[in-house]
Chains A and B, each alone.
Chain A
């Protein structure tokens, strides 16, 4: 166990270094002269030259990377080419909103998925089961932007239960809760669908076991059989997947935040790419990848701790 965690920690710097190289290269993959692309087609040569100097493009590539890393390690992600604000400030403004959205989605995912899976398994082969499985198949296959827009249309425009865009306030206020609900549900929907299906099949596996038959035979109520004998044992594979899904929610933030105008880091990145604001693009991509790597590390270590049967070689 300790060895596994140590090895994971040793690989971490290598992966992070690689991530930084990829992020650094974003600016240098730009076809032609990046400074000209940033300045626009009609910009005078002085402007182009000024941007070259500001981004350090006039220096050799390895030196540029070294300078870039030096700044990043000091927490300096450069300045936005559009707003002139430090990128780190923009990122730190947006990040809590993304974390709030992701956390709410992560909390509601098992709360919706597990009961649905249990009900489907308990009413196996009923109309309810087939219906739930069909809906979950759609939830898995449909593009995220489509399900987001569908939810917005239904709950925002038709039923008018929830606001359709923006963040109305912190989580502990009623307005804040209402405004986070739709985006969080949209973000969670794919994970909910996948998890509900998994819960159902894990439950069906367990319900075929001898000890479940014994529990029924000795006259326990069906509810007790399902929840205490069934769900308890079905939860392990389910819990394993939850962590993975939570990490992936991060990458769903691009679509959800754009659709619901949620002021998070995904929307910041999409704006920055559209306006060719490369320092902001690099900063946001770096921070999201960093978060993903760290969450995965925590999840892996937790699994190794929770389930000693897991071996890593």
Chain B
């Protein structure tokens, strides 16, 4: 089972807390390239993005094209990954599906990154509102794992947009807590103090001195949460609450394939593999970036 839990408070420790924007020493890129798993992760993500962007060109068939006579056929030269219950080409559907799954991932992380960063920074810098904000975060964290996303999808109804919003909101507490703890440590730094003494307005301190130093931990965290967002998206669709068939979102494909698992397991295997590979890709990339951006945390 995948851990689709929200990041725990202790997960903060897994992200660099160093104030340095970019560490000195060997150039970033060379440190990254030497980390083989990270490079594999990056390649997977680039490949997935390319496949999603070029689906029209690469896919041998339209994702809607049915061929009832050849339904449930196994892998063959005509259909490399076989066909599903309506004779649709599974390879083409998996390729187009990359669009939906990646859109969910990027969309949801964009929402949680934007709101979580804003809220977390405000909580960390303006101590007066900290208590209120963190209580709200506590309340959101009282919903285990995907429950909050499920509650939101229940209200908004199924579909791509509500899935993205639901997962985005579900992920806000993690980003808020991370940003708050980073802000708490940054506000005590000498250069932030110095800027304040020099009379810099809050907007300059936050925008120039703080936000710049948040970039590397945020990239790492966002990459790791992309993996989770894609998983949760697939899970919601699998439960019939997210993106609905016949749209070839990977989780929705597995949801349909589930009925035929005894007779045509290949309809289930390939979309699952696509989810798995993408999630592994983002995890490897996130871990690799963490090591490259903050070598002190290498384990």
Q: Using a CB–CB distance below 8 Å, which chain A residues touch chain B? A: 11, 14-16, 18-19, 22-23, 25-31, 37, 138-149, 152-153, 157, 186-191, 193-194, 244, 247-248, 250-252, 254-255, 258-259, 269-270, 272-274, 278, 281, 285, 288-289, 292-293
Contacts and interface: CB of A to CB of B under 8 A. Distances in A.
Contacts of A273: 150, 153-154, 241
A29 B241 contact: no
A155 to B, nearest CB: 13
A187 B241 CA distance: 20
Contacts of A252: 1, 145
A251 B2 contact: no
A23 B8 CA distance: 22
A282 to B, nearest CB: 9
Contacts of B231: 143
A22 B151 contact: yes
Given A149-B258, A251-B145, A293-B142, A143 B241 contact: no
Contact of A254 (B139, B146, B156, B283): B146
Contact of B142 (A29, A138, A146, A289): A289
Interface stretch (B48-56, B109-117, B268-276): B268-276
Given A37-B157, A193-B1, 17 more contacts: A11-B135, A15-B138, A18-B135, A18-B139, A25-B155, A143-B279, A146-B272, A149-B272, A153-B262, A187-B1, A190-B1, A190-B2, A190-B3, A285-B150, A288-B144, A289-B144, A292-B147
A149 B268 contact: yes
Nearest to A25: B155
Consensus secondary structure, chain A interface: helix
Which 5 residue pairs spanning A and B have beta carbons closest together? A190-B1, A251-B145, A18-B139, A29-B155, A251-B144
Interface in B112-169: 135-136, 138-140, 142-148, 150-157
Contact of B144 (A11, A193, A247, A274): A247
Nearest to A252: B1
B261 to A, nearest CB: 5
Contacts, number: 162
Nearest to B165: A29
A129 B239 CA distance: 35
B227 to A, nearest CB: 8
B143 to A, nearest CB: 5
B4 to A, nearest CB: 7
B5 interface: yes
B15 interface: no
B261 A147 contact: no
Contacts of A247: 144
Contacts of B216: none
A142 B276 contact: yes
Contact of B146 (A16, A251, A292): A251
Contacts of B275: 143, 146
A192 to B, nearest CB: 9
